[in-house]
């Protein structure tokens, strides 16, 4: 007899399992359909001994001290601040767009104030930001939008920014200073011994049992339990009764090279060239020393594992039909990026999971 069954051993599932087992001292069964814990943040040492992220590069960053303190119970940190370059007009320049980006791109020598004036001149003023195109051109105008955002977004989502909610490109700020970091959050870093170690530490409790390689629908009728926490795709839970919710997928192509270093920074984005969106070299992120190096190319795809909810009005409306069904259920809780159909970063998943625990789980 379990007090809680948790579907999914990703970040949301692990946080809740840990809290329920440790704080409430209750019995938890975690059911995971993959052959490992950790969800999309899972990492492992590949055959050459290099630590890689199976589902694409993950960097932890947050402004929420509670979230940072909570995760810090399960890991020490390697101090890392992510840097990304974009390959544009034959050279690699910093993204988010900043003072250096513009000076390199236009072979200019702007000061910060001159750049502010430049942006004022080139930006399109918008009364209302209706979509992800408006979001960018209201800050930097059409030309920079086309160089950095238009085709990257088309590749990533198979949609133009004008077809996506503003939140998608709002993730990438525009700066007039020389700050070349991808994230400016107060707390950022990489887990010193990898993400999987965090999940192992969270689940290491006699109250927690884990079943891997099992879809919950195949076993749930045979399990005795009081409450269910579901972190998978919400449309699957309800047998697609309101139709399939669109999720975007990726194909990851890993390559290990016989050299110590492949590129200058952790990630290089390719908005206008190739079928992949970006290349990440893991050793930059993890600080690992090794005579070889592993990179991953991300090829967006409509088929495959659901990685991204697609932020479009019609999808959000469709999700709301499922959400209303979910709210009618007693003793069933929906949490996480797939179950809430939200483009959450890891810190937001932790925040929402802790909120659910402290408000609703007894």
Q: Count the neighbouring beta carbons within 10 Å of the beta carbon of residue 11.
A: 29
Q: Using CB under 6 A, pick the residue from 59, 67, 137, 285 that binds ligand FAD.
A: 59
Q: Which does 148 bind (CB under 5 to 8 A by kind): ligand FAD, ligand UDP, none?
A: ligand UDP
Of 10-18, 63-71, 87-95, 166-174, the window that binds ligand FAD (rule: CB under 6 A) is 10-18
Residue bearing tokens 């070299």: 281
Whole-number minimum distance, CB 345 to ligand UDP, in Å?
8
Q: Does 232 bind ligand FAD (CB under 6 A)?
A: yes
- Cβ-based nearer residue to ligand FAD, 18 or 32: 32
DSSP label at 260?
S
What is the nearest approach in angstroms of ligand FAD to the Cβ of residue 352? 9
C-alpha dist (Å) from residue 360 to 227, 322, 353 = 11, 20, 10
Q: Is 346 in the site for ligand FAD (CB under 6 A)?
A: yes
Is residue 83 at the binding interface for ligand FAD, with CB under 6 A as the rule?
no
Binding partner of 344, given ligand UDP, ligand FAD, none, CB within 5-8 angstroms per partner class? ligand FAD
**What does 190 bind: ligand UDP, ligand FAD, none (CB cut-off 5 to 8 Å by kind)?**
none
User: Which residues in this chain contact ligand UDP in the complex, by CB under 6 A?
Assistant: 86, 95, 148-149, 152-153, 156, 168-169, 171-172, 269, 271
Total residues interacting with ligand FAD, rule: CB under 6 A: 33
181 binds ligand FAD (CB under 6 A): no
3-class SS at 307? coil
Long-range contacts of 262-268 (CB under 8 A, 24+ apart): 262/293, 262/295, 263/295, 264/85, 264/92, 265/83, 265/84, 265/85, 266/57, 266/59, 266/82, 266/83, 266/84, 267/57, 267/82, 267/83, 267/84, 267/85, 267/182, 268/84, 268/85, 268/86, 268/87, 268/92
Strand order in the sheet with 208-211: 208-211, 28-31, 2-7, 225-230, 332-334
At how many degrees (to 10) do helices 346-360 and 11-22 cross?
30
Q: DSSP 3-state assignment of 187?
A: strand
Determine, following the binding rule CB under 6 A, whether residue 10 of this chain makes contact with ligand FAD: yes
| Complex with ligand UDP: residue 245 or 310, whichever CB lies closer | 310
The least CB distance from residue 254 to ligand FAD, in Å, is 13
One residue of 6, 20, 31, 137 binding ligand FAD per CB under 6 A? 31
Q: Which residues bind ligand FAD (CB under 6 A)?
A: 7-13, 31-34, 39-41, 55-59, 215-216, 231-232, 250, 307, 336-338, 344-347, 349
């Amino acid at each position: 007899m379990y007090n809680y069954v948790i579907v999914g051993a990703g970040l949301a599932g692990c946080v809740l399992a840990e809290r329920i087992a440790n704080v409430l001292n209750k019995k938890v069964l975690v059911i995971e359909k993959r052959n490992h814990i950790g969800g999309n943040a899972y990492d492992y040492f590949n055959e050459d001994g290099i630590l890689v992220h199976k589902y694409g590069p993950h960097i932890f960053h947050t402004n929420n001290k509670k979230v940072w303190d909570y995760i810090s119970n399960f890991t020490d940190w390697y101090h890392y601040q992510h840097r990304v370059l974009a390959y544009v007009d034959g050279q690699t320049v910093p993204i988010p767009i900043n003072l250096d980006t513009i000076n390199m791109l236009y072979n200019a020598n702007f000061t910060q104030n001159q750049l502010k004036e430049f942006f004022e001149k080139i930006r399109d003023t918008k009364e209302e930001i209706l979509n992800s195109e408006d979001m960018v051109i209201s800050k930097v105008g059409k030309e920079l939008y086309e160089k950095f955002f238009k085709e990257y977004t088309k590749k990533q989502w198979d949609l133009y920014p004008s077809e996506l909610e503003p939140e998608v490109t709002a993730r990438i700020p525009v700066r007039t200073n020389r700050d070349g970091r991808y994230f400016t959050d107060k707390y950022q870093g990489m887990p010193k011994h990898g993400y999987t170690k965090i999940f192992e530490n969270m689940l290491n409790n006699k109250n927690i049992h884990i079943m891997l390689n099992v879809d919950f629908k195949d076993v749930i009728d045979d399990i005795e339990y009081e409450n269910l926490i579901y972190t998978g795709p919400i449309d699957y839970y309800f047998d697609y009764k309101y139709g399939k919710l669109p999720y975007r997928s990726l194909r990851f192509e890993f390559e290990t090279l016989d050299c110590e270093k492949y590129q200058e920074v952790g990630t290089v984005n390719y908005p206008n060239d190739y079928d992949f969106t970006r290349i990440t070299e893991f050793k930059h992120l993890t600080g690992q020393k090794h005579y070889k190096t592993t990179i991953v190319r991300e090829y967006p795809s409509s088929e495959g594992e659901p990685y991204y909810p697609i932020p479009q009005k019609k999808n959000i409306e469709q999700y709301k039909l499922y959400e209303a069904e979910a709210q009618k259920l007693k003793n069933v809780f929906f949490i996480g990026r797939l179950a809430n159909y939200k483009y959450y970063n890891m810190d937001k998943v932790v925040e929402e999971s802790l909120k659910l625990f402290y408000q609703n789980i007894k």
